[in-house]
Structure 1
């Protein structure tokens, strides 16, 4: 059985305004003080991303923009992020599968 985990957020603004904020890398610090991004949001471009968690160590990675559709979607991925996302996805998958198994056991025990 295939399971999919998705998340979403509603932003009370038109897509054009959200896009303008999303690709305005010079001003990321105004809404995300833990992240700096340099580069151009063009498909095929390489970005430089600095992550600065509070009390943590700064990390820098250089993902490639894999998809850029104005006012709709900006996607980037790099070797570092790919490994991080794969680890996160595996952890979430394990957690979700554990929850489903617990629900199934509970349903069987209740019948």
Structure 2
């Protein structure tokens, strides 16, 4: 059974600005409570190297690989799958422009495979807290940048 974390938030800022927040990975440490560092080109197949806050005081280094990237709209990445399909993941960020200069941001995470229940049992709470924190922080960051520009 898959372990899924889906979060959606409407942001009072244009989609271009929300996209800028999400893809300016060099600045994640300034605002992102979950992913403290991030390096990537967003090119499909290339790595995305992150330092994430999961459990304990020391952040964990994580390397995943970009799956898709549609500029201005979405990007996704996944871990290198564990052999025999025992564990795989997918993380995606999607931005949709709404009326009135607003944006819908959808954060999706999914673990699947035979080891998914074990991993979600050990890290599910931390992952949920982390992804919720990042989703809320994207909103806060984009709306703050919008207010400075207005």
Cα distance 1:75–1:5, how it changes in 2: closer, same or farther (>3 A)? closer
Q: Residue 62 of structure 2 corresponds to which residue in structure 1?
A: 61
What is the CA–CA distance in structure 1 between the aligned matches of 2:55 and 2:69, rounded to whole Å? Answer: 30
Is the 2:78–2:89 Cα contact (8 Å) retained in structure 1? yes
Matched, 1:82 2:89: yes
Is the radius of gyration larger for structure 1 or structure 2?
Answer: 1
Instruction: State TM-score, norm by structure 2.
Output: 0.48
Aligned residues: 89
RMSD of Structure 2 on Structure 1 (CA): 3.2
TM-score by length of 1: 0.63
CA distance in structure 2 between the aligned counterparts of 1:69 and 1:24, rounded to whole angstroms: 15
Greater share of residues in helix: 1
Identify which of structures 1 and 2 has the higher relative contact order when contacts are C-alpha pairs closer than 8 Å and 6+ apart: 2
Gaps of 5+ in 1: 93-111
Q: Are 2:22 and 1:22 aligned?
A: yes
1:13 aligned residue? 13
Identify the structure with the greater strand proportion. Answer: 2
SS at 1:27 equivalent:
helix
Q: Please say which of residues 33-42 and 58-67 is displaced more in the overlay.
A: 33-42
Q: Is the alpha carbon distance of 1:8 and 1:56 closer, same or farther for their aligned partners in structure 2, counting shifts above 3 Å?
A: same
Change (3 A) 1:72 1:60: same
